[in-house]
Chain A
Amino acid sequence: MRSEGAAWPLRFAAAAGLAFLHLPLALIFLYAFTTEEKSFQFPPPGYTARWFGTAWFDRPDIWPPLVLSLKVALFATLLALIFGTLAAAALARARFFGKESLSLLFILPIALPGIITGIALRSAFDIMNLPFSTWTIVLGHATFCIVVVYNNVLARFRRTSASMIEASMDLGADGFQTFRYVVLPQIASALLAGGMLAFALSFDEVIVTTFTAGQQATLPIWMLGELLRPRQRPVTNVVAIFVIAVTFIPIIFAYYLTRDGEHIAGGGK
């Protein structure tokens, strides 16, 4: 059998699969320009760019959820960078009893259904009498953001030679200098990639957020609510395009930064 080029049924199936995955995305773009504001009818009766203006000038209700989402994503990513790196550094070289189980516990939040994480955190916050706030959402998101950073940094640590750290100390550098001049430059791109992914994950998360937000609405939750509104539906699509941009660009960046043989575990959530 020829190795270059698959049989045509296979090609057709692949094309159909891709179309099924991505055509709905095209619809989001299409309906952002429709003149019909009450329902999504196909094909749109006319085209207009006015919804972009409406979203920017006449809809102050968009801004609080947007700011909240950005804030949450930022802090969750920051927490993830710190704790994910520390966890990866601790587990990269050490060998001890129960290491595999511990490593599994780190990764579990991303494998666990969001509902479980959500319920668990909500009951935990209840028990601790913690009122819902930005921080409860941040904590909820950090559970799976840490995993992304942890996986990326761990993979990088495994690829770097252990004797490099020894070489640095041998040449007179103390622990801090070694981290600053040798370890950090080695893991920098892994941190960037992990951080961007974490940010993107947090920015559009709905399930865990629903359980840990209380009455606050992040951008995805606001959008879910908007679908029930009778008017100005295309505004939601305008915001959706913005969300696509915010989450897609970091993911593309992360992909290019780490594509030299290192896969981004957990990138699919």
Chain B
Amino acid sequence: MTPAVSFQRVSRHFGSMRAVDDVTLDIAPGEFFAMLGPSGSGKTTCLRLIAGFEQPTYGHIEIFGETAEGLPPYRRNVNTVFQDYALFPHMTVGENVAYGLMIKGMARADREVKAAAALAMVKLEGFGDRRPSQLSGGQRQRVALARALVNEPKVLLLDEPLGALDLKLREQMQEELKALQKQLGITFVFVTHDQGEALSMADRVAIFNAGRILQAGSPTDVYERPQSRFVADFVGSSNIMAPEFSAAHGGPGVWISLRPEKISVLKASDKPPVGHGSAEGLVAATHYQGSVTRIVINSGGARLTAAIPAGTSRFHEGDIVRFVWSKDSIVAMEHGE
């Protein structure tokens, strides 16, 4: 099957800065694909390469089998939801949504019908006559979404679209976006630095750092089986332990990742069950976080964090405790980086 978007050894350099550095990537049609990484990791530049705002310095990009490099943004069947929404303030909401159709030369009556339908799709019926300045942040974001989707793009690009919303609204929009994507079957490419957002929404996640993709896979894949220290640390939080620690505690002699929620906490005198690794240490801190309590111990110079369900903790700072984990929950990382 032809991929929706295909990057073949794509680089984008700005002077001596390699914003995107030798990225190879296939995004399947109908996939909800998240590009996750810290700021400056190249994820937004990748999105702009698909949109056509940037051209690759090296490499080859295809969109549904068509060569994309050299094509200006207005000749690509992709649309973007911008981080600041980029609504046109001198137009009404309806005119904003109908803009792409107007440019295509669709008759006024037809485009008004389509724009109204698109607004209904994002639950903004009857908002067509308002100005963008009269809307809340969440409503503007829906307008931006409707304005892009009304053109029936083959690929929808979303550049941190939820970044400016507050937490409650963000969670609600996450669900709606996901439902919308399922319903429309359009390929979504979603850029975010929020790992929770990426994990909960995407079919597949690519983790970017310094212009490269470190790992791409399903959310479970990148969370449960991080291949590098960066991925283990960026996606969720993890205890990333040096090879020496691992070897001393019955693990493989390489860098390992151990998720805090895989660790249970026992009294120092308790014996670990068979098939389990353990480490003894002094409780350095406990952090109550609502649903979980995090317990940090110092074990022979190494720091480990366990996350246990809140209310079950009987331990306090200064206690000597035993951290216990199943050997299956250790992830050996192929790349030390």
Contact = CB atoms under 8 A, between A and B. Distances in A.
Contacts of B88: 164, 167-168, 182, 185
A215 B231 CA distance: 80
A26 to B, nearest CB: 42
A181 interface: yes
Q: Interface of chain A, helix or strand or loop or mixed? A: helix
A95 to B, nearest CB: 12
Contacts of A182: 88
B243 interface: no
A237 B51 CA distance: 63
A171 B79 contact: yes
B103 A167 contact: no
B288 interface: no
A174 B86 contact: no
A164 B73 CA distance: 13
Contact of B82 (A166, A174, A177, A181): A166
A170 B90 contact: no
Contacts of A177: 103
A169 B100 CA distance: 9
A174 B51 CA distance: 14
Contact of A185 (B72, B82, B90): B90
Interface in B74-123: 74, 78-80, 82-84, 86-90, 99-100, 102-104
Most buried by A among B52, B53, B78, B99: B99
B147 interface: yes
A164 B72 CA distance: 16
A172 B76 CA distance: 8
Contacts, number: 63
A173 interface: yes
A129 interface: no
Interface residues of B, number: 25
B84 A174 contact: no
Interface in A128-175: 161, 163-164, 166-174
Contacts of A185: 88, 90
Given A163-B84, A177-B103, A169 B74 contact: yes
Most buried by B among A163, A168, A169, A172: A172
A171 B151 contact: yes
Nearest to A167: B86
Interface in B53-79: 53, 72-74, 78-79
A171 B82 contact: no
Given A177-B103, A181-B99, A169 B73 contact: yes
Interface string B4-43: 0000000000000000000000000000000000000000
A95 B250 CA distance: 57
A167 B89 CA distance: 12
Given A177-B103, A185-B90, A186-B90, A170 B51 contact: yes
A185 to B, nearest CB: 4
Interface string B209-250: 000000000000000000000000000000000000000000
Contacts of A169: 52-53, 72-74
B86 A163 contact: yes
Given A166-B53, A166-B73, A186-B90, A172 B84 contact: no
Given A164-B86, A177-B103, A171 B147 contact: yes
Contacts of B84: 161, 163
Contacts of A171: 74, 79, 99-100, 103, 147-148, 151
Interface in A224-264: none
B73 A170 contact: yes
A177 B74 CA distance: 11
A172 B51 contact: no
Nearest to B104: A172
Contacts of A173: 74, 99, 103
Interface in A165-216: 166-174, 177, 181-182, 185-186
Interface of B: 51-53, 72-74, 78-80, 82-84, 86-90, 99-100, 102-104, 147-148, 151
Given A166-B51, A171-B151, A186-B90, 16 more contacts: A163-B86, A164-B87, A164-B88, A166-B53, A166-B73, A167-B87, A168-B99, A169-B72, A170-B53, A171-B79, A172-B74, A172-B100, A172-B103, A173-B103, A174-B74, A177-B103
11 contacts: A167-B82, A167-B86, A170-B78, A170-B79, A171-B74, A172-B151, A173-B74, A173-B103, A174-B72, A185-B90, A186-B90
Interface of A: 161, 163-164, 166-174, 177, 181-182, 185-186
Give the top 8 A-B pairs by smallest Cβ distance, nearest first.
Answer: A171-B100, A167-B86, A163-B86, A169-B73, A185-B90, A172-B103, A163-B82, A173-B103
